[in-house]
Structure 1
Amino acid sequence: MSENATPRLGITALLGISALLGGLLVWSYLQGSKTEESIQPLATEQATLLPELRSLKPFSLSNHHGETFDNQSLLGQWTFMSFGYTYCPDICPTTMSLFSEMNDLLKREQQTDPYKITFVSVDPQRDSLERLAEYVTYFNPEFLGATGPEPALEKLTKPLGILYQRVETEDSAMGYVMDHSASIILVDPQGQYHAYFSPPHDPQKMANDFLSITDHARLGK
């Protein structure tokens, strides 16, 4: 072997390694570009997606079956939550009717991710579990009603930004009304606050957004 053989073999080996590394860098760049291209913001018609998902703070209420409704109840399926009270003269029955329409639209799809529709009463003084049961099942037997004492309700509503207050009405036979947020909250199967729908609500747009959101989440994009 000549004295110059070793350097030539070294250069050849280095060139081969450089080519390999160059190929890996190109592949890595292309993969990175592909990932960046695939992660596109999800376009929605009515839903506002949270930029950062977060788990709900611990809470515990009762549903209209007399069972516990808490963080564990949110796991394994998507959950739509609206907030109001059964004596509400306008917003709540309108929202529940829209839920019913949205539910019918989603049921027509060949396949949707599991979901529940839950109405949370912020008027526990008047909304007993029996009254809640009658109210929510009037719109759909599968809908769920939930409520609890004021401190328990606050543990759910405050972190979600749901506002409500009692307003005395002397000229009303009801004695008082509950002013409350009309937004609808969407919680994912991991119990995380995922999106919200601001009024005015449209059942078709909500159904479309739900399908888009669940497809997006399923693909992990």
Structure 2
Amino acid sequence: MFTPQAAILLVITAAGLTWHFQNKKEELRIKRIKEMKNQKYGKARVGGPFKLKTQDGQDFTHEDLLGKWSIVYFGFTNCPDVCPDELDKMGKVVDTRPDARNGPSIQPIFISCDPARDSNDAIKTYLSDFHPRMVGLCGTYDQVKATCKAYRVYFSTPPDVKPGDDYIVDHSIYFYLMNPEGEFVDAFGKDRSAEDVVARFEEAVGEFEKEYGSKV
């Protein structure tokens, strides 16, 4: 007999399974990225040429990553909880290096994977609640898709939607640490704290200086 209690149990079980598989999927994505990073025949194939617009309407390309340490996150402004949590975390990381006097500073970058809704103004308004140095980027659907492909980022935004359409955006939930050569260093998921990221950043700075022989 199907009782109300059984229905509630079924809903709870389904929600739990959905959460479990989503987290497992994200763990596998990060694992694949880190496996690429550790290949013996070269650096990880994460990152590459892209061209987007900032929240102020200025061109921003992969060349703007050069000469700086960057942390890069892909999300969207209508994200209810995960994106705000990750952007807050990024802000805490950035605040550990406020300027170059205490070592290399960090450039925080938010790339929208919802071009239909995330205009420059929408991104600017959204990022006003986060770190003041946050750079917000977006572009056409094709530009965003190419950037996500270069960074091995999954996103589900339909290609033919229009502002006002009702749809769900699913996307990879982690951010990247990129070195001043524009090279991928590491990926951080929801389970990594700001302190974890800072510790890895400090380690990466030492590795970079040893390889390139100069400080940034």
Question: Normalization by structure 2: what TM-score?
Answer: 0.71
1:187 aligned onto 2:178: yes
Which residue of structure 2 lines up, in the alignment, with residue 209 of structure 1? 200
3-state secondary structure, aligned to 1:179 = coil
RMSD: 2.5
**Unmatched tracts of structure 1, length 5 or more:** 1-46, 168-172
Q: Does 1:163 align with 2:130?
A: no
Q: Is the 8 A contact 1:57 1:155 kept in 2?
A: no
Change (3 A) 1:147 1:109: closer
Partner of 1:129: 120
Structure-2 change in CA distance of 1:108 and 1:187 (3 Å): closer
Q: Per the alignment, do residues 211 and 153 of structure 1 end up closer, same or farther by CA in structure 2, a change over 3 Å counting?
A: same
CA distance in structure 1 between the partners assigned to 2:198 and 2:180 by the alignment: 17
CA contact (8 A) 2:93 2:195 kept: yes
Structure 2 gaps, min length 5: 1-32, 159-163
Please identify which structure carries the higher strand content. Answer: 1
Q: Work out whether residues 61 and 152 of structure 1, in 8 Å CA contact, stay in contact via their aligned partners in 2.
A: yes
TM-score by length of 1: 0.69
Over the matched positions of the two proteins, sequence identity in percent amounts to 24
Are residue 90 (structure 1) and residue 81 (structure 2) matched? yes
Alignment correspondent of 2:49:
58
Amino acid at match of 2:93: M
Contact 1:112 1:211 in 2 (8 A): no
Judging changes above 3 Å, is the alpha-carbon distance between structure 1 residues 129 and 85 closer, same or farther for their aligned structure 2 residues?
A: same
Q: Distance in 2 between matches of 1:118 and 1:58?
A: 15
Deviations 1:79-99 (A, max 9, x none): 111011000011101101111
Offset, 1:107:
3.5
Distance in 2 between residues matched to 1:120 and 1:201, nearest whole Å:
20
Query: For residue 114 of structure 1, what is the aligned residue in structure 2?
Result: 105
Q: 1:176 aligns with which of 157, 164, 167?
A: 167
Count of residue pairs brought into register by the alignment: 170
Amino acid at match of 2:96: L
